[in-house]
Amino acid sequence: MENTAVAKKTNRVLQEDMQNIFQNLTAAEKDKLRNSTILITGCGGFLGYYFMHFFATFAEELQLKKVIALENFLTGTKDWLAELIDSKPDVFSLHEFNVITDDVAAIPEAADADVIMHLASIASPTFYRIYPIETVDANITGLRRLLDFYAGKSVKAFLFFSSSEIYGDPFPEFIPTKEDYRGNVATIGPRACYDEAKRFGETLCYLFAQKHNMPIGVARPFNNYGPGMNINDKRLPADFAKAVVEGRDLEIFSDGTPTRTFCYISDAITGYLKVMLHGSFDVFNIGMDKPELSVREYAELFNQHGREIFDYQGQIKFQEPEDKEYLTDNPNRRCPDISKAREVLGYNPTVSVEKGIGRFLEFLKINEGKLL
């Protein structure tokens, strides 16, 4: 599976996003990152793309000791990652590593890491259904191995990426959805491997935080999109971006009425860093709380910006999915209540969905829409 084009150092969109993330962190949050040794699993994925570029951009200013990057390359090679590692060999070390089976103790300097970020997981429904057991194991077995290794060590921050999918398909009275909603989730079905693994992963984090006093932050992402997203990812924003780049029609595999809010990547990364640097166990929704758009409305925004940026001439079409289980247990609505993150973390997403889609397509245009 191929990734998006390498983000050249001159890519204006990426560099502006890096600056915005940095500026939206408080002095205290930046101080906590200073002189850190960071271990990040799943560094080659969508979120890893922005975290890795962020650490590369501000390695000197934050006086980072080391960034230990772990990736199993299950979904393909990441040439951008090799290029980034090579650009700062004194800061980055990259290791092919399977969190499910490999021993983190065997990684040089891993024992010195004091900021741990567990991103390793498949997040696309298409691909976690191809690798369901691996998806479960990354979020449970892999997480447990990391928690066991770092329990009792001097850790400043430990970040676990959960998901808004832990809420399942909320009843209407629980939308916007708060962190204390317990969920309406199927334990058996095509999405259960991801949803239930994330739920149990949260339980593990809670137990280790209690027993070992570990400063674990749990982030629940809501529909991120933007530069660095693999346009072969098969999630909605990736599908629409890929269609625009290739000049194909925008295909919707539903009646277009399911609704979502969408959070641009720089706002999301800012939120995740704030969760990580909070300093004590807690769980936070991270996303954009408005507007809640239908799939059809979202497609129309890609159509509009595609015409402006790529001279896109495609149309919006409704298609029957080839995968008959594509919509099984698919939530009808997804909208977070982010008041807790606003009040406790000072989280304030500002990039509108209209602007974010434009930035995503501009990023691809600057890179000439190429795939590696």
Gap between the Cα atoms of 33 and 58, Å rounded:
11
Q: Taking the CB of residue 173, how many other CB atoms lie within 10 A of it?
A: 6
Total-model pTM: 0.94
- The type of residue at 296 is R
Domain 12-229+263-288+337-351 of CATH type 3.40.50.1000: no
In contact, 114 and 159? CB cutoff 8 Å? no
3-class DSSP state of 145: helix
Domain segments of the chain as ranges: 12-229+263-288+337-351
3-class DSSP state of 184: strand
Gap between the Cα atoms of 201 and 199, Å rounded:
5
In contact, 252 and 313? CB cutoff 8 Å? no
Q: How confident is the model at residue 229 (pLDDT cuts 50, 70, 90)?
A: very high
- The type of residue at 362 is E
What percentage of residues in the chain have a pLDDT greater than 90? 84
Contacts of 19 (CB under 8 A, 6+ apart): none
Dig out the tokens for 268 from the structure: 């999301």
Gap between the Cα atoms of 196 and 116, Å rounded:
22
Res 367: pLDDT: 86
Q: CB-based burial of residue 78 (10 Å sphere; 0-12 exposed, 13-18 middle, 19+ buried)?
A: buried
pLDDT higher than 50, residue 7: no
Condensed to tens digits (0 to 9), the pLDDT of residues 58-70 reads 999 999 999 999 9
Q: How confident is the model at residue 6 (pLDDT cuts 50, 70, 90)?
A: very low
Contacts by 168-176, CB closer than 8 A, 24 or more apart: 168/195, 168/329, 168/331, 169/329, 169/330, 169/331, 169/332, 169/333, 170/331, 170/333, 172/333, 175/333, 175/335, 176/289, 176/335, 176/336, 176/337
pLDDT higher than 70, residue 372: no
pLDDT higher than 50, residue 16: yes
Q: For Cα atoms 193, 196, 199, give the angle at the middle one, nearest 5 degrees.
A: 145
pLDDT higher than 80, residue 76: no
**H-type alpha helices, the chain:** 12-23, 27-33, 46-57, 79-87, 125-128, 132-139, 141-150, 192-212, 236-246, 265-276, 295-310, 339-345, 353-366
Least confident segment among 174-183, 205-214, 284-293, 361-370:
361-370
128: annotated active-site residue: no
Closest CA to 115 of 35, 208, 211, 18: 35
pLDDT higher than 70, residue 44: yes
- Selected catalytic residue, list 194, 225, 264, 272: 194
Condensed to tens digits (0 to 9), the pLDDT of residues 77-96 reads 678 999 999 999 999 999 99
Cis, bond preceding 291 (omega within 30 deg of 0): yes
